[in-house]
Amino acid sequence: MKEHLEELLSQSLLHLQRDGVLPGDTDLKVQLERTRSPEYGEFASNLAMVLAKPAGMPPRKLAEAIIERVPMSRQVDRMEIAGPGFINIFLQRCALTGILKDVLRQGDKFGQLRRGGRNRITVEYVSANPTGPLHVGHGRGAAYGASLASIMSAAGYKVQREYYVNDNGRQMDILAVCVWLRYLELCGENTNFPENGYRGDYIYDIARLVRIDHGDKWRFTRLEVEDGLPPTIAEGGDGEAYLDALIQRAKELLGETGYLVFFNTALDNILSDIKEDLAEFGVHFDKWFSERDLEESDAVQHAIDRLRENGHLYEKEGAVWFRASDLGDEKDRVVIRENGRTTYFASDIAYFLNKLERGFQTAVYVFGADHHGYVARLRAAARGLGEDPDRLEILLVQFAVLFRFGEKVAMSTRSGQFITLRELREEVSTDAARFFYVMRSHDQHLDFDLDLAKSRTNENPVFYIQYAYARICSVFRNLEDMDQRHNGEIGNVALDLLTEDHEMQLMRNISRFTETIESAARLRSPHLLAHYLHSLATDLHSYYNAHQFLVKDENMRNARLNLILATGIILRKGLGLLGVSAPEEM
RNA sequence: GCCCUCGUAGCUCAGCAGGAUAGAGCAACCGCCUCCUAAGCGGUAGGUCACACGUUCGAAUCGUGUCGAGGGCGCCA
C-alpha cells in the first residue's frame, strides 16, 4: 500500500518536472509517513514543503499542483492539503478490506516480502567462546540476532545465520589445562588450581568424562606438574605467566595425543552444550564457522597478503603492523607478533574477507557493547583490504541488567557467579526471555525485571500479547460449542459491515504489519515489531470488550470472525518472528 | 586523557529518514463481569524531551559545546 502511494506521488513529481514546475535536478525521493490520527487520513507527505524552495512557490500551492497530477487509483479516496502544506491521503475502504482478505488468503505466508534485493547477507551473532556455558549476557545477543535474522528474512533479504566458533588460541588452552587439573584432583592428586583459570563446576563434569574414558592414564604428581613454574597470583605473580607455563608443562607431560584428549573433550562438550542451549532458546544457525578451519586454510595469510599488496603493512620491533591509523582507527595494530604468530585481529580480518569471498554482499556482526572498540578497527581493515567499509555492519547490543525483587542481581564472571542463559530460561520461560530481550532498542541498556517476566498478569507484555491470541482461538472454540460455523466467504463479502471505530482501528493496524517488518529489518530493530504486536493486542482487547463477535446475524458474525482471524494470523506470525510461541489456550 | 553509546512522565521505555497537540506500559486515582477467558476494558492525572547556542519554513530528532550516566581503549582472546 505504502509503495503504491509512493509510486503515485513520484509519477506526479515526474510530471511536474516535465512541465518545468520543478527544476530538472531536484531530488524526487518521496517521503511518506503514517499520520498520527485518522482526521489526517492514513498517510501524509511533506513533499510540498520540502520542494517548495526549489519550485519557487508556496508549499500549499505546490501541494495543489502535486495532487492535481497524481494518477487515479482505486485505493485512494482523496488527498487533502492541511496545515503548512501536508498532503493528507485518505484511502478507500477497499484498501483496508483488501489487505484483510490478503491476510486470510495467505495465512502464515502473509508478511513475506520481497524488498531485500538479490544480495546475500550474513548475520553473525552470539559467537561466544566455547570455554563455558552461555550466560545471560549472551542471551540478549542471541535473542536479538535471531529475531533480526528472522525479520530480515521475512523482509526479503537472503540471510545466512552464522556463529564463529573461537576454538583456537590461548583461552582454549587455558580451558584444556583447567580440565586436566580437575582431572588430577579427581584422581586424588593435590593441585594448585589457578585463581585466573576457569573455575566453574562444569570443568569437573568434563574432567569426569575424560576419566571415564581413560582412567588415570594422565595422572601426574603435583611436583611433576608445578615444579619450576612462575609464581601464581597468590604467590605475588600476575598469574598470566603461570598459566602460559602451565600450558607448556601440560603439553610436555601429556604429549600431543593426551593434550588433545583434554582439549577436544572440553571443546566438544561445551560446544554441544551451547548448541543445545541455543536450540532450546529457539536460536538456530545455518553455519558454525570454526576458527581452526580458518587457520588451517591459508585464509589468514591470504588476508595479510592482501593488506601488504595494498601497502598497509610495515615492520616495527620485530612485529608486523597494520597501518590502521591511516584508515580511521585510533592507532596501528599488530597482525603478526614478534614470535611469528598471527594475532586474533588478523583472524578477524581473514574471517571478514572470507565472508565476502563466500559471496556475501554484506556481513552483519552482532556484538556485545564491550566490543565497540572493534568497530573502527574492523572498518579500517575493510578499507585496507580494498573493500567498501559499508559491506561491514556492526550492531552493538547493550548490556542487560537483571533485577529481582527490585534489586540488581549481582554478577561476576571472575568468581563464576554468573547466571546462565539456561537458568534464566528455566526461571522465566523461553517466551518471556526472548521477548524481554528484544523489546528495547538494541543500543539501549536493558533492565530485565525477572519478577515481571515471570508474572502472569497484564503487567507482562508477553502474556498480554499471547492472551490476545488465546482469546481469538477461544472464540473459535466457542463457535464450535454453539454449533455455529465460520464461513470465510460470507465474511469476506460482508466486510463492509465493519464500520465501528474499533474495527477500523484494527484493520488499520493490520495494514501496518508489512511496513513494520520492512522498517524493523531496515533499521535492524526487532523492538519495533515487539511494540507493534503490543499495539495490535491492545486493539484486539479493546474490540473484544466493546463488541460481541458471536452475534446472530450471519453476515456480521462472519465478517467479525474474519477480522479477528486475520488479527490472530498476524499475532502468531509476529510472535514467531521474535521466537515467541502463540499458545491457543492460556 | 582519547573514543563509543546514551540522557524523553514518579519508574521502564517508544518516537521509523526533521513535520501537525511529544506517545505506551507500570505505579497512583475513579469506574466496568446476569455477556465469546477481568491474564481484560474505559477514564483522570502526570513532561522546560539534561542544558546552551546554531542550521531550518519547522528540531526530542541534525551540528557544536557544557553537564551527567555507562562502556571501551593490550604483540589478551
CA of A502 to C1' of B37 (A): 20
Q: Model confidence over A303-350: pLDDT tens digits?
A: 999 999 999 999 988 899 999 888 888 889 999 999 888 898 999 999
| Strand B bases, protein C-beta under 7 A | 2-6, 12-17, 19-21, 23-27, 35-42, 57-58, 70-77
- What is the pLDDT, as a whole number, of residue A114? 85
Written as nine digits, the cell of A442 is: 538494541
pTM confidence score: 0.94
The residues pairing with A45 across neighbouring beta strands, listed in sequence order, are: A32, A87
What whole-number distance in Å separates Cα of residue A453 and Cα of residue A293?
40
- What is the pLDDT, as a whole number, of residue A414? 45
What is the pLDDT tens value at each position of chain A, 586 positions in all? 888 898 888 888 888 888 888 877 766 677 788 888 888 889 999 888 888 888 888 888 889 999 999 998 999 999 999 888 899 999 999 999 999 999 999 999 999 988 777 889 999 999 998 999 998 888 999 999 999 999 999 999 999 999 999 998 888 999 999 999 999 999 999 998 998 888 889 999 999 999 999 999 999 999 999 998 888 888 888 788 899 999 999 999 999 999 999 999 999 999 999 999 999 999 999 999 999 888 888 999 999 999 999 999 999 888 999 998 888 888 899 999 998 888 989 999 999 999 999 999 999 999 887 787 788 889 899 999 999 888 888 888 887 888 887 777 766 544 445 788 998 899 889 999 999 999 988 888 888 888 888 876 667 889 999 999 999 999 999 988 887 889 999 999 999 999 999 999 999 999 999 999 988 998 899 999 999 999 999 999 999 999 999 998 999 999 999 999 999 999 999 999 999 999 999 8
- What is the pLDDT, as a whole number, of residue A464? 92
- What is the pLDDT, as a whole number, of residue A411? 63
- Write the DSSP string, A253-286: HHHHHHHHHHHHHHHHHHHHHHHHHHHHTT---S
* Nearest amino-acid residue to B72, taking CA and C1': A373
CA of A551 to C1' of B15 (A): 39
Which nucleotide is closest to A535, CA to C1'? B24
Q: Model confidence over A71-111: pLDDT tens digits?
A: 989 999 999 998 888 999 999 999 999 999 999 999 999 99
Which nucleotide is closest to A344, CA to C1'? B77
Q: Which residue has the cell 499458545?
A: A583
- What is the pLDDT, as a whole number, of residue A413? 47
ipTM of this complex: 0.93
- Write the DSSP string, A395-435: EEEPPEEEEETTEEPP-BTTTTB--BHHHHHHHH-HHHHHH
What whole-number distance in Å separates Cα of residue A529 and Cα of residue A578?
8
CA of A477 to C1' of B5 (A): 49
CA of A401 to C1' of B7 (A): 18
Inter-residue contact A409 to A379 (CB < 8 Å): no
Q: How far is CA A85 from CA A5, A17, A428, A586, in A?
A: 18, 19, 50, 49
- What is the pLDDT, as a whole number, of residue A251? 95
* Nearest amino-acid residue to B17, taking CA and C1': A31
Which nucleotide is closest to A80, CA to C1'? B20
Q: Classify the phi-psi angles of A41: left when phi > 0, otherwise alpha if psi is within -120 to 50, otherwise beta.
A: left
Written as nine digits, the cell of A238 is: 600476575
Q: Residue A209: is it exposed, middle or buried by C-beta count within 10 angstroms (0-12/13-18/19+)?
A: middle
